[in-house]
Amino acid sequence: MRLWYYAKGPNRFGPIEEAELRRRLGTGEIAAEDWLWTEGMSNWVKAAEWLRTAGDPVVEKPIVAEAVAGPSAAVVVTASPPPVNDLAAGSLSQRMLPVRELYERIEREVRKVFVGQDELVLGTLTALFSGGHVLIESVPGLGKTLFVRTLGRVLGCKFNRIQFTADLMPSDITGSPIFDVKTQEFIFRPGPVFTNILLADEINRSPAKTHAALLEVMQELSVTVERTRHKLDRPFMVLATQNPVESEGTYNLPEAQMDRFMFKLIMDYPREEEEARILILHSVREDIDQRLQELSVVTNPEEIMSVTRLAGEVRVDPKLVNYINALVRKTRNWPQILVGASPRAGLALMQAARTLAAFRGRDYAVPDDVVDLALPALRHRVILAPEAEVEGYRVDDVLHEVIRSVEVPRL
């Protein structure tokens, strides 16, 4: 009778019989990301990998590709499981577990103040830890400013807000040199873009020259004034909002700038139970600054950059690369789409899928990570054909058809 051990992080459990192992796998007590070992196996393997060959004898077909010690580890048959801590030292998969815990802590703190809008929370955090920017489309009054302020507090980051207007000048956001009477010299006074999280509220109300100034900041992470380049602190993310209803007094964002945003997220009205909770939480006359101060600071800019670099190490199977490539290229010859997505869309999907996999505790990306982020990454990068708009097609509906038409690879 074969006895099994399983490990959650550095903690080891067992031995248990195989029937009990299968039961715990079925109930979710043992997750797909946990590790399994039985006598005759050279190394610990992931539960997800074992399930793929669960009907075969594991000792005869050991799975070493996902082993903690790596594919080049020496085969050592032992009657007791190898130490989990020793095998996990330096393992990428084990280093992803704190990333998942960090994401869950951030979400828990944000949910103490901000209700609902799951796509917004997940998309914004994914973009932040991927080094991207987010365009948010919503009607007024849905809590965009509250969300960004809450996020800045929980992340331990600086936050600024710019209300874009028709007379907003580039120097109003980047900063400008001012004359110091004491020193008789011009000194640079930084603008509101010198922060970690910038809320560009109603960005489409400012003219093109202001958009161009913000474009350099988003792409280069720096501001050039009087032939001097001033670098911004990292991380830096722009959350720009625009109202889809009003068009009077607005300037459409050029396609080149739309493409700079990693995601376009849609904030819709909250569900009935969510709106009831909003009324309970925020109907009391209470200083919002005081409530934000009560939230715990979960992380800091240095840790965010460290996690960003770690997420870049998540493995993407060549089949998944071909799947992303096929999705993006499919948009360029779809009947209802006039202009398809650029290669930057594929890059955004690759980076975001890696980060989402890290949030879910994995050191490898799967097709579900790509599908979950495909709409936010593509909806602002395609233009519908005029006849499709006349027939009442929406961008999301067309993209759903595109995604369904591409075969999902089996990894």
- Of 307, 328, 356, at which residue does a domain stop? 307
- The CA distance from 315 to 46, in Å, is 15
Q: What is the total residue count of the chain? A: 411
Name the band, by pLDDT with cuts 50, 70 and 90, for residue 246: low
Provide the pLDDT for residue 78.
35
* 275 occurs within a structural domain: yes
Which residues, 6+ apart, have CB-to-CB distance to 225 below 8 Å? Answer: 174, 175, 176, 177, 188
- Of 89, 112, 141, at which residue does a domain stop? 89
Q: Are 144 and 269 contained in the same domain?
A: yes
Domain count, the chain: 3
Q: Are 83 and 113 contained in the same domain?
A: no
Least confident of 7-11, 194-198, 272-276, 405-409: 7-11
Q: Report which DSSP code applies to 270.
A: P
Provide the pLDDT for residue 238.
92
Query: Full-prediction pTM beyond 0.75?
Result: no
* 410 occurs within a structural domain: no
Name the band, by pLDDT with cuts 50, 70 and 90, for residue 93: low
- The CA distance from 364 to 239, in Å, is 28
Provide the pLDDT for residue 1.
59
Q: Are 282 and 157 contained in the same domain?
A: yes
Task: Spell out the SS3 assignment of 324-353.
Answer: HHHHHHHCCCCCCEEECCCHHHHHHHHHHH
* 127 occurs within a structural domain: yes
Q: Report which DSSP code applies to 308.
A: H
Provide the pLDDT for residue 71.
31
The arithmetic mean of pLDDT across residues 271-294, rounded, is 82
- Kindly report the CATH number assigned to the domain that includes residue 335: 1.10.8.80
Least confident of 89-98, 168-177, 198-207, 254-263: 89-98
Q: Are 185 and 299 contained in the same domain?
A: yes
Residue-averaged pLDDT of the chain: 82
pLDDT of 129 higher than 90: yes
Three-state DSSP class for residue 250: coil
Domain boundaries, position 263:
95-307
Provide the pLDDT for residue 55.
47
Angle, CA of 301, 124 and 176, to the nearest 5°: 60
The burial class, CB within 10 Å (0-12 / 13-18 / 19+), for 398 is buried
Taking only the tens place, the pLDDT of each residue in 330-373 is 999 999 999 899 999 999 999 999 999 999 988 899 999 999 99
Provide the pLDDT for residue 11.
65
- Kindly report the CATH number assigned to the domain that includes residue 259: 3.40.50.300
Give percent of the chain above pLDDT 90.
27
Q: Are 175 and 129 contained in the same domain?
A: yes
Query: 345 or 253: which carries more pLDDT confidence?
Result: 345
* 166 occurs within a structural domain: yes
Provide the pLDDT for residue 62.
36
Q: Are 264 and 354 contained in the same domain?
A: no
pLDDT of 209 higher than 80: yes
* 227 occurs within a structural domain: yes
Alpha carbon 218 to chain centroid distance? 17
Provide the pLDDT for residue 42.
66
The helices-and-strands tally (H runs, E runs) of the chain is 17, 15
Provide the pLDDT for residue 194.
92
Q: Are 144 and 255 contained in the same domain?
A: yes
* 411 occurs within a structural domain: no
Residues linked to residue 339 through DSSP beta bridges, in sequence order: 383
pLDDT of 326 higher than 90: yes
Which of 109-118, 138-147, 319-328 is the most confident on average?
319-328
Provide the pairing of β-strand 159-163 with 35-38. unpaired
Name the band, by pLDDT with cuts 50, 70 and 90, for residue 236: very high
Provide the pLDDT for residue 68.
38
- Of 26, 61, 89, at which residue does a domain stop? 89
Cα dihedral 302→189→162→105 (10° resolution)? 10
CA distances (Å), origin 17, targets 24, 46, 217: 11, 17, 59
* 165 occurs within a structural domain: yes
Q: Are 268 and 149 contained in the same domain?
A: yes
Three-state DSSP class for residue 380: coil
Taking only the tens place, the pLDDT of each residue in 301-324 is 888 998 899 888 899 999 999 999
Q: Are 8 and 79 contained in the same domain?
A: yes
What's the one-letter identity of residue 325?
A: N
Q: Are 74 and 121 contained in the same domain?
A: no
Q: Are 137 and 286 contained in the same domain?
A: yes
Provide the pLDDT for residue 98.
83
Provide the pLDDT for residue 46.
85
Taking only the tens place, the pLDDT of each residue in 17-76 is 888 888 888 888 888 888 888 877 767 788 888 887 664 433 333 333 333 333 333 323
Q: Are 278 and 347 contained in the same domain?
A: no
The arithmetic mean of pLDDT across residues 390-409, rounded, is 91
* 54 occurs within a structural domain: yes
Query: 55 or 405: which carries more pLDDT confidence?
Result: 405
Give percent of the chain above pLDDT 70.
87
User: Where do the H-state alpha helices sit in 89-177?
Assistant: 92-111, 118-128, 144-155, 170-174
